[in-house]
Amino acid sequence: MHDIEQRFVDKGVNTIKDSMAKFVSKGKITEDQNKGALNRLIPTTDLKAAVSDVDLVIEAVFEDLNLKKKIFADLDALSPARTILASNTSSMSITQIASTTKRSEKVVGMHFFNPAVLLKLVEVIYAKKSSDDAIQTVYEVAKKWARSRSSSGKTRPVSSTIG
């Protein structure tokens, strides 16, 4: 988990811990699941370190197209060429976001419905140049996370509309 200032990272971690504790107390997840999730969380303010050896990045900043474009340009420069870049946007053009990268074929939308821990639906969104491989990889990740998948984009591998 990355943010631009340590205070934002700390606030995000505390929010996640509080939410997870509520889910444990309500029996939605076990304490072992909670501990496992928190152990996988690596908070940082160093974007280069956060993305230097990853296969998938999911951006989830607020809905500001210029900010998302800047972040994707930075992610493109800092992450390995193999990395798929996904945006959690619910309303912005993935094609426009992808235009700031040199890997448009590896840019997709991956919109999680809120609250993401409880709602198991992920909308997978094609950009104009998204590759079938990138979309399939994101589908497989969502499946591994036991999520239902829907699609917006081209008809490949499911029917959809371009985003």
Mapping DSSP onto H, E and C, the string for the chain reads CECCCHHHHHHHHHHHHHHHHHHHHCCCCCHHHHHHHHHHCCCECCHHHHHCCCCEEEECCCCCHHHHHHHHHHHHHHCCCCCEEEECCCCCCHHHHHCCCCCHHHEEEEEECCCCCCCCEEEEECCCCCCHHHHHHHHHHHHHCCCEEEEECCCCCCCCCCC
Active site residue 111: yes
* Selected catalytic residue, list 2, 68, 106, 111: 111
Parallel/antiparallel/unpaired status of strands 107-112 and 121-125:
antiparallel
Question: Which residues neighbour 25 within 8 Å (Cβ) at sequence distance 6 or greater?
Answer: none
Q: What are the residue numbers of the active site?
A: 111
